[in-house]
Structure 1
Amino acid sequence: MLDTITSINSAVNGVVWGPIGLALLFGTGLVMTVRTGGFQFGHVGHWMKNTIGAIFTNKKVTAHTNKEDMAISQFQSLCTALAATIGTGNIVGVATAIISGGPGAIFWMWVMAILGMMTNYSENVLGIFYRRKNEKGEWSGGAMYYLADGLGAKKGCRALGRVLAVLFSCFCVLASFGIGNMSQINSIAGNMSSAFNIPNVVTGVALVLLSALVILGGLKRVAAVTEKIVPVMAIMYIVGALIVVGAHFTAIPAAFAAIFKGAFALPAAGGGILGYGISQAITWGFKRGAFSNEAGLGSSVMVHSSSNVREPVQQGMWGIFEVFADTIVVCTLTALVVLTTGFVDLETGHMLSDVQGSALVGQAFSTVFGHYGPKFVAVSILLFAYSTVLGWSHYGTKAFEYLFGTKASVGYKVVFVGMVMVGATMKLGLAWDLSDTFNGLMMLPNLIGVLALSGTVAKITKNYIERQLCGRNIAPMWSAFEIYQKEEEAQEAAEVQLDKAANE
């Protein structure tokens, strides 16, 4: 029975994470880049100013909503989304990409990220535009909503949209227990055991109790925790990685040369061939890049849709920054840590160490921090992986809510917390493989929806640019539903009056 499941899973995985799935992922990013006029290139200053820049200049971005308002702030939605995306993929995934695809895989991770910025942007724009309010007054959005209400509104596509919405939700719930829970917890338990000799059971019990306190408290509590964890863990890891790379700064030019040469399998200085060939570099770069930033999977849009933002494009820009921070910043630093510390032959691309995954990164950190290197990586994985669990708990909750209703989501949360102990104490070989497949299966219906609604994304983007950048007085496109559009217009009018009164 297990052999049959394994063989079926391998076949399906070979499709969703093979050439077909990766080509669809690449193609969607390319289509959305073209249809939005290369928004991520042409408006770099604008989206940087309105995301990371706005954190320091616009109080509305970080302002907490009142208890009656069930939405979360834009900054909280970013931190919760980053909590789910900045995970083991940024450490283990990057190391695996270099080991399996050579240094050139990092270049193709960048390519996937640059195009993935617009895939993530499009998901968030559609998420805000098609979101609805549930029985509790919370915003609910995600691929299932724009599949059912967006794709489903097109002529002859009603049934298709609803079927794809249900499939996406089912795949998301299943993936949340694997990639979003047990595999992350298993990585934490293994690293804490090897670095600090803490038994897996002890780690499991501690994380179950912590998870119960946070996850059962709902999205607002999850967001309150992630907005504190994510900045700390990101800064801590970035500073640590910069220290290691700075200590080996003379190797930085050679590291970048290895990345670019390996990306196209160009001849190295000694006449040999760098890396493992262009096909391996592309495959592992695309695969690990998608695993790291999750652009195209339709996952992070479920928390972005809960933001108190009114403009779909505003939340779309946070999606661009999310991919930028995850892959262009964090993954690049991990790659430089590995490549500059002498564990890879930068002339041939071959590994000079036989350790794998996080152990390789820990070994690289030990060149500067000594025996504290692996401990630093273990703590980083603890924060990265556990924050991923918190983010995915919301994704699974929203998918379960779509399938079975708001009240049933409480039961999902209880089971999700219970699976933390399973992840900490069991060997999860097949479970990991299955969840990786379900994670990839989420991508297929989501990308179909994004491509089918690419015209809608283009219209919303054009509307925003004309209003906000060109100063034209035209009606905004905030919601696909008239009731929410009018609510937002009324709320904006009230805010304008308050601002006038405050300035008088």
Structure 2
Amino acid sequence: MQHLNDILSLIDSYIGGSYWFVALLLLTGLFFTVYLQFPQIRFFKHAIDVVKGKYDEKDDEGDTSHFQALATALSGTVGTGNIAGVALAIHLGGPAALFWMVVTAFFGMTTKFVEVTLSHKYREKTADGTMAGGPMYFMKNKLNMNWMAVLFAIATVLSSFGTGNLPQVNSIASSMFATFGVEQYITGAVLSVMLAFVILGGIKRIASVTEKLVPIMAVIYFIGCLAVIFYNFENIPSSIARVVGDIFSGTSATGGFLGATLAFAFNRGVNRGLFSNEAGQGSAPIAHASAKTKEPVSEGMVAILEPFIDTIVICSLTGLALLSSNVWREKVDNTFQQTDMQVLNTVYDDSKNNPNNDREKLAYHISGEETLPVFDGELNVVNGTIKNTVTLIHARSLAEDVKVTYQGQPYSGHLKVTKGKVQWKDGLVITGKSLIHSAPLTSLAFSRSYFGEYGKYIVTIGLLLFAFSTAISWSYYGDRAMTFLFGSASVKYFRIVYVGAFFIGSFADTTIIWTLSGITIALMTIPNLIGLLILRKDMKDSLNTYWDHMENKFGIKR
């Protein structure tokens, strides 16, 4: 598994984790924001009116209402990215990563507007009478680039597993185990049955479920975030100051957090921002293609609201909860994961006044700017304690109070280490104090609130609803891509595999799943953004046509 993660990380470093990918994403949003004269600001109120159904017409063709399409698309984006993804971004890049997530969302509002409009414009009616759309259809029907359409559709199928399936159920199962002690495979089995029931009903059942789930889960999570923020209200000014103050400098070491560079905060903030709201990825247009309207731009207007709700509102609230509670820089008792752990060849001290500047050395090491010597050989463990003069790094922090157990008992013996990585075996557990990340970090933050220890239940329930609804929506994205590639008959086979993978993902390695998600996101995003840029004039013409229609039909001027 470690070898597989290393391979996936290397692939991700050249695409989703690269700076050129981040630049392509942001610059595309910036270009369309200027080219279309800030539509995310000018059309924001109009977008709300469209969602309300104010401009619906009787002869509109489609499968769902504007609100149902928005709810389905939101259920696909509001998921682990809002709970686990924000925590991971801050864990990796410090408070400034939150700022770059919000910036990504602001420009992403325009990107969503464009991709949904063009995808809706070139949608098709399938043999079973339902609507099918998405970037693959404008690539095929307008650009006449069938090879790009096929590439995007294949990436969508892969991403349905890497984005909407595996990381979602993994976060749910981990949270259920941490909170209630329910074994991961049991959670996976129950939810897999529920998932199968919903997705077999197609888009109408999916829309019916998501339009109820999204408002409920948003309210529950909103209350939980506010309970943390107001409980730690005295820390809000310093938290905001950290976000703003670290934008152009990176975050220096504080507590157990060893620091993060500006480049790392920028990269992780933008990357996690995309994972959260999916602007530019081309996934949401597949859901919006089902909406009832003859004007593609009207559905694009609806899509403007998605990154705002998903990232600017929900992710910002999560970020403030994490920062105001200070849990992002605290070491806590933790069960170590193999892929998050590394053994260094000597002893380091991360205390603030260390004369050897060990904190700075460790910070450079975990950021990849410099490399410290790693341990190769065998660790001598006596009654659960490592006797070698080594340092364990876990979750980008110096581990403390490390204990080794085997089959529930203190371990005595030797552990083989190759290039700093412990060779794991069944029954081996290594625990200690370190930073934590993803959903467990958010759960810890929610326990520092008016609800006390009960606060973590809000995260668990919120994660259950958020992530499950995301899995539902992504099953639809995958089956539309399968329909495009192989026809409607292939959908039933996709659904069987999708449900099976959902079960397996409940107990698979978390780090590998997150790495896989980054790769599949990039494989969808790159061809989609290229297509949008090519069709920039088409988008502007469509916008002009829309306002002519609105003026003639409803007397509304742009």
Q: Secondary structure at the match of 1:151?
A: coil
User: What are the Cα deviations for residues 50-103 of structure 1, in whole angstroms up to 9, with x where unaligned?
Assistant: 33xx26xx4959x9x9xxx86111111111111110011111111111121111
Q: How is 1:368-383 mapped onto 2 (pairs within 5 angstroms)?
A: 368=449, 369-383=451-465
Q: 1:205 aligns with which of 173, 189, 209?
A: 189
- Equivalent position of 1:329 in the other structure: 313
1:438 aligns to 2:430 (yes or no):
no
TM-superposed CA distance for 1:424, in Å, is: 2.0
Of 125-134 and 411-420, deviating more is: 411-420
TM-superposed CA distance for 1:300, in Å, is: 0.8
CA pair 280-225 structure 1, distance change in 2 beyond 3 A: same
- Equivalent position of 1:45 in the other structure: 45
- Equivalent position of 1:451 in the other structure: 533
- Equivalent position of 1:360 in the other structure: 441
One-letter code of the match for 2:536? S
One-letter code of the match for 1:178? G
CA pair 5-330 structure 1, distance change in 2 beyond 3 A: closer
One-letter code of the match for 2:104? M
Structure 1: how far apart are the matches of 2:97 and 2:517?
Answer: 23
Structure 1: how far apart are the matches of 2:132 and 2:24?
Answer: 27
One-letter code of the match for 1:280? F
Structure 1: how far apart are the matches of 2:484 and 2:510?
Answer: 28
Q: How is 1:3-402 mapped onto 2 (pairs within 5 angstroms)?
A: 3=3, 6-7=6-7, 10-51=10-51, 54=52, 58=54, 71-152=63-144, 161-265=145-249, 276-343=260-327, 354-368=435-449, 369-402=451-484
What TM-score results when the alignment is normalised by the length of structure 1?
Answer: 0.83
Q: What CA RMSD, in Å, does the superposition of the two structures yield over aligned residues? A: 3.0
Query: Structure 2 unaligned runs (5+)?
Result: 331-362, 364-395, 398-432
Structure 2: how far apart are the matches of 1:2 and 1:335?
Answer: 30
Structure 2: how far apart are the matches of 1:22 and 1:267?
Answer: 20
TM-superposed CA distance for 1:470, in Å, is: 8.8
Structure 1: how far apart are the matches of 2:277 and 2:69?
Answer: 15
Larger Rg: 2
What TM-score results when the alignment is normalised by the length of structure 2?
Answer: 0.75
User: What are the Cα deviations for residues 112-170 of structure 1, in whole angstroms up to 9, with x where unaligned?
Assistant: 11111111110110011100100011111001001111222xxxxxxxx1111001111
CA pair 230-367 structure 1, distance change in 2 beyond 3 A: same
Structure 2: how far apart are the matches of 1:431 and 1:109?
Answer: 21
Structure 1: how far apart are the matches of 2:107 and 2:172?
Answer: 31
One-letter code of the match for 1:354? L
Q: Secondary structure at the match of 2:489?
A: coil
User: What are the Cα deviations for residues 202-251 of structure 1, in whole angstroms up to 9, with x where unaligned?
Assistant: 21221121111101111111111111111100111011111221222232
CA contact (8 A) 2:171 2:463 kept: yes
Structure 2: how far apart are the matches of 1:5 and 1:257?
Answer: 36
TM-superposed CA distance for 1:371, in Å, is: 1.6
CA contact (8 A) 1:204 1:421 kept: yes
Structure 2: how far apart are the matches of 1:311 and 1:173?
Answer: 28
1:405 aligns to 2:389 (yes or no):
no
User: What are the Cα deviations for residues 442-465 of structure 1, in whole angstroms up to 9, with x where unaligned?
Assistant: 111111111111111111112223
Query: Structure 1 unaligned runs (5+)?
Result: 153-160, 475-504
Whose strand fraction is larger, Structure 1's or Structure 2's?
2
| Percent identity (aligned) | 39
TM-superposed CA distance for 1:193, in Å, is: 1.2
CA pair 425-97 structure 1, distance change in 2 beyond 3 A: closer
- Equivalent position of 1:485 in the other structure: none
Structure 1: how far apart are the matches of 2:71 and 2:64?
Answer: 11
One-letter code of the match for 1:135? A
User: What are the Cα deviations for residues 316-338 of structure 1, in whole angstroms up to 9, with x where unaligned?
Assistant: 11111011000000000000101
One-letter code of the match for 2:269? G
Structure 2: how far apart are the matches of 1:287 and 1:17?
Answer: 7
TM-superposed CA distance for 1:42, in Å, is: 2.5
CA contact (8 A) 1:13 1:440 kept: no
The count of aligned residue pairs is 453
Q: How is 1:464-503 mapped onto 2 (pairs within 5 angstroms)?
A: 464-468=546-550
CA contact (8 A) 1:120 1:296 kept: yes
Whose helix fraction is larger, Structure 1's or Structure 2's?
1
CA pair 377-50 structure 1, distance change in 2 beyond 3 A: same
CA pair 266-438 structure 1, distance change in 2 beyond 3 A: closer
CA pair 359-402 structure 1, distance change in 2 beyond 3 A: same
CA pair 336-196 structure 1, distance change in 2 beyond 3 A: same
Of 9-18 and 374-383, deviating more is: 9-18
CA pair 455-309 structure 1, distance change in 2 beyond 3 A: same
User: What are the Cα deviations for residues 353-410 of structure 1, in whole angstroms up to 9, with x where unaligned?
Assistant: 7222222211111112222122221111111111110010000000011000012212
Structure 2: how far apart are the matches of 1:23 and 1:282?
Answer: 11
